[in-house]
Amino acid sequence: MKYLLILIAATWLLNGCAAYKQLEPKPPIVSSEGGFLPVRDDDQPFELKKEDKYYIAFPAPAENNFYLVVKTPNKKGFASFLTDALKDETSYGKKTADEYADSAQTSVYAIHSTRPSYYLLMEDLRDNFLLQMEYRYVPQWRFKFVNKYAYYREFI
């Protein structure tokens, strides 16, 4: 009886830890500073299924104090977060805070060159949909300045 309970518990735990599926964009993710680049599978958006979990690997920037900025009109259609560790595609490390969590389309994550990669995990999809996503790497000082420029201009 004891072994049966252990077997049932182990099966429940393994089934509860569904693996994340990797989305491999083509062209691949580039960690250099620049404008927004699309996350696509050749010329098509990725098709996400409601019952699955996904992740995209983003390489670390060449320098510290960068932001990874991710834009998607589907942001409210799923739960997403960034982490710097993904073990066996089933468990993840510490979550990186989204500094624009209240935004309807934009997520902003502070990233550094000390980690080799970051992983954007997507889960709890509310429906099947085509992923429309763009990303960019930008120094934190530049992002803050550009986004506050209009505010600062009011005082000149």
* pTM score: 0.83
What is the mean pLDDT of the segment spanning 12-28? 76
Q: For position 66, what pLDDT does the model report?
A: 97
Find out whether 119 and 58 touch, Cβ atoms under 8 Å: yes
CB atoms within 10 A of CB 78: 20
CA distance 5 to 154: 67
Closest C-alpha among 138, 141, 136, 142 to residue 71: 136
Runs of H (alpha helix) within the chain: 2-16, 140-153
Q: pLDDT-derived band of residue 155, with 50, 70 and 90 as boundaries?
A: confident
DSSP 23: P
Closest C-alpha among 43, 19, 17, 56 to residue 135: 56
Domains and CATH numbers, the chain: 19-153 (2.60.120.380)
What is the mean pLDDT of the segment spanning 65-77? 93
